[in-house]
Structure 1
Amino acid sequence: MIYFDHAASSFPKPEAVSAAVAKAINDFGANPGRGGHKLSRQAGEVIDEARKALQTMFDAPKKEKVLFTNNATYALNQIIQGVPFAPGDHIIMTVYEHNSVSRPVQRLKKEKNIEVSVIAPDTHDGWVQEVKNHLRTDTRLVIVTHGSNVTGDIIPIREIGQLLKDHPAWFAVDAAQTAGVLPISMKEDHIDLLACAGHKGLLGPQGTGALLVSEQVSLTPIVTGGTGTNSEAIEQPEEWPYGYESGTLNTPGIAGLLKGVEAVNEQGYERISSHEEGLAKYLVSELKEISALEVIHPLQAGTRLGVVSVKTDPLNSHEIAMILDEHYDIACRAGLHCSPLVHDYLGTTENGLLRFSFGLYNTMNEIDLLITALKEISEHMME
């Protein structure tokens, strides 16, 4: 199988990741922080080491405010539902947001009468100006995806953070597509809340994610229950991180995530990002020969994530994806990619797009095989 669906989940994983998962299950499969015995302590040490690794990777201010979640969706919900909004407060988000942002924001809009501005600049340089144009004194949260899972756009979070650093609004970044691919510094980028998926660019197992929170931010936990601490208290403890991690943590997954982070550090951001971007640019250059397919380009020419989406009109994107899977053993993704706002913006809602997304282990030869397959499919379907 040639796998071009890394924007959904990276595959394959480094061997050290699966080995760490197996070791956690087989050697110390106890609850971290839920007992004083040696297996519990060993599990807790792995969790603590993983917190430190993420704190260092993202230049987060405090290890205790690195929270483990099931995925980026949970982290984003903890942000959006955990901010103490008052009726009439204002949120700024982008047209590129995943449903993991747009749906909880819509829920807030209905339940708390929150006002929402959705920004969509025409140029890459327009992002900061658009935020500035919509910023209000009652803006409580600005939430921005760092990288589009549809267009491959990279949004200038550092410049936006610089704009917001003296404003009371909290700056939240969805790094589901960029964590482990592009460097991110909470300190230098002035990020208050950073949501990450563990199973994409961080090369960890599915069912892992993280939310990193700056020192000045306080959230209401969206799940309460057992924390392993303060068991005598009838109310949820306010201690970080335990008050935000109710229930048993996914120790095997977090052990694997730690090894994924270590693999990213070993490879380095420059090698990873340049490799994935190089594959994308090569595919774009070769797609020019296929008239039935139209590439969706990011706003900033010359730079992109390892994501290429194409219009297939009048061909059906889902049918092409099915043919690639069944006849060429190539995995990709067709449809709206859980990001309907950007499809409305692009005018591609009816047929969706055919998306190819790349990872560390993809090769140029695999791109060549994809191009051959797409030429054959388009020629046959256009007959």
Structure 2
Amino acid sequence: MDDRKPIIYLDNAATSWPKPPGVVEAIERNVRENAANPGRGSHEMAVKASRVLFDARKRLARLFGIGNPNDIAFALNTTHALNLAIQGLLKPGDHVIATSLEHNSVRRPIEAMKRRFGIEATFVAADEQGRLNVKEVEAAITSKTKLIAASHSSNLLGAIAPIAELGETARRRGVKLLVDAAQSAGTLSIDVEAMGIDLLAFPGHKGLLGPQGTGGLYIHTDLELEPLMHGGTGSKSEAPEQPTVRPDRYEAGTQNTPGIAGLSEGVRFVLGETTKTIHAKESELTFALMEGLLAIPGVRILGPELGAERTAIVSFTVEGIDPSEMAFLLDRQFGIAVRAGFHCTPLGHETAGTYETGAVRASPGYFTEKADIVSMIDAVKEIVTMGKGNRG
């Protein structure tokens, strides 16, 4: 019999939980009523399935300031979307600029393109708090530079990048801007036109409150990418080549219609609550957590200082306690879910000075309660006290 306490979930930066009730209902309803292939038939169920996808695109377009919903290609996750953007745009001889805060979902495709096609890459360093100097990014632009890739918010530090400034620089210099919105979609305001974003990769399962296996890539109307996958689309089936019409060009194979139905409902929830309200609540919880942890001897919080703007990510280390041990004790003894390790961003840990140790990451979400934050602070305090006693 499991007599553990109810879980306190502080791992929303990986996947948000719980989901709004409507998300689960939308997935179930789709499986029960619209379980047919979208775009692959003219019968009623297929038409309804197609409508699910288009409604989701319309809601996403509204959220991100996108003029044409068909400029959104659905993907399995942010990683899939980023690979489509990076591999679909860059060609041999091109140069790409990224930052020292990037997730492996940006770094590894770039490194693969370097090995396979000889592209060149420059990773511009942010400071220890995650602040990026746009002038240093501009200084790295060469005649071969085709793309600037930047995380909107670091998944380790919570630092928020100056995307609008990067967008202005990119447009002025004739370079494309790819934004990794894994930690910002649904939490921070995003307007692709106003911010100069050419490519926006986003997950469905984090701030948009949808299920795993969903996400997408916005591709500017004037930008053409080489498809990452080729195959059936339900359109131009007589042609041997992938069709050029959007979004079919980038969506080979049957889409995750039940998942996208859930994503659509998650986006509807975000639109109703507004990103401003969501960010304000998450910021309040984040600052309370930071304040409580900083009062504990030996705790160091990574990223922007207390009170500075950030997303709901609080990564920290505790002197004398391994991050993995801290996360294990929080889970097993207190029922608190956090994540420890390198968070798929060794570049970020090099920037923060924690490459040798990793860190513990706690990430509140919109449904986190203030009592959960208090419990987290008390638990860390108790573990630190126990650790001192054992060392004494």
In structure 1, the residue matched to 2:279 is 273
What is the identity, as a one-letter code, of the residue corresponding to 1:57?
A: L
1:219 alignment counterpart: 225
The alignment partner of 2:126 has SS state of coil
8 Å CA contact retained: 1:318, 1:334: yes
Corresponding residue of 1:293:
299
Q: Which runs of 5+ in 1 are unaligned?
A: none
- How far has the Cα of 1:329 moved from its partner? 0.6
State the distance in 1 between where 2:231 and 2:208 align.
29
Question: Which residue, 368, 371, 380 being the options, matches 2:377?
Answer: 371
Aligned residues: 382
Alignment partner of 1:90 is 2:95: yes
Aligned partners of 1:145 and 1:173 also within 8 Å? yes
- The one-letter code of the counterpart of 1:131 is V
Counterpart in the other structure of 2:46 = 40
Counterpart code for 2:202: C
**What's the C-alpha RMSD, in Å, of the aligned pairs?**
1.3
**1:167 paired residue among 173, 177, 195:** 173
The partner residue of 2:74 within 54, 62, 68 is 68
From 215, 229, 242, the counterpart of 1:236: 242
Separation in 2, partners of 1:80, 1:199: 22
Gaps of 5+ in 2: 1-6
SS at match of 1:74: helix
Paired-residue identity, %: 41
Could you give the per-residue CA deviations for residues 218-269 of structure 1, whole angstroms, max 9, x where no partner exists? Answer: 0000111111111111121121110110010000000000100010011111
2:50 is aligned with 1:23: no
Which whole-Å deviations, capped at 9, do the CAs of 1:17-44 have from their partners, x for residues lacking one? 0000000001110000001100000000
Residue of structure 1 aligned with 2:256, choices 230, 250, 253: 250
Superposition deviation, residue 289 in structure 1: 2.0
Question: Residue 305 of structure 1 is aligned with which of 295, 306, 311?
Answer: 311
**Please, which moves more after superposition, 310-319 or 170-179?**
310-319
Q: Distance in 2 between matches of 1:373 and 1:130?
A: 41
CA distances 1:37-62 after superposition (whole Å, capped 9, x unpaired): 00000000111111111111111132
User: Are 1:10 and 2:19 counterparts?
Assistant: no
Shift of 1:84: 4.2
Deviation at 1:168, TM superposition (A): 2.2
Contact persistence 2:12–2:363 (CA under 8 A)? yes
Displacement of 1:154 after TM fit? 0.4
User: CA, structure 1 residues 377+126, in 2 after alignment: closer, same or farther (shift >3 Å)?
Assistant: closer
Q: Which moved more, 1:269-278 or 1:198-207?
A: 269-278
The offset of 1:112, in angstroms, is 1.1
Q: How far did 1:114 drift?
A: 1.1
The Cα of 1:301 is off from its aligned counterpart by: 5.7
Give the superposition deviation at 1:64: 1.4
Q: Indicate which of 103, 107, 122 corresponds to 1:102.
A: 107
Q: Does the CA-based 8 Å contact 2:97-2:148 persist in structure 1?
A: yes
Alignment of 1:333-352 (within 5 A): 333-352=339-358
User: Paired residue for 2:118, among 113, 121, 125?
Assistant: 113
SS of 2:115's partner is helix
Q: Deviations over 1:309-360 (max 9, x none)?
A: 0012321111110111111110000000011101122221222100000110
Distance between the aligned counterparts of 1:230 and 1:149, measured in 2? Answer: 40
- Which residue number corresponds to residue 332 of structure 2? 326
Structure 2: distance between partners of 1:26 and 1:174: 34
The match for 1:178 is: 184
Change (3 A) 1:126 1:335: closer
Paired with 2:54 and 2:316, the residues of 1 have a C-alpha distance of 42
1:5, 1:331 within 8 Å by CA — same for their partners in 2? yes
What TM-score, normalized by structure 1, do the two folds share?
A: 0.97
Is 1:151 the equivalent of 2:157? yes
Partners of 2:156 and 2:313 within 8 A in 1: yes
- The answer (yes or no) to whether the contact 2:315–2:359 under 8 Å persists in 1 is yes
| 2:363 corresponds to which of 357, 360, 365 | 357
Q: Secondary structure at the match of 2:22?
A: helix
CA distance in 1 between counterparts of 2:210 and 2:132 reads 34
User: Following TM superposition, by how much is the alpha carbon of 1:125 offset from its aligned partner in structure 2, in angstroms?
Assistant: 6.6
SS of match in other structure, 1:294 = strand
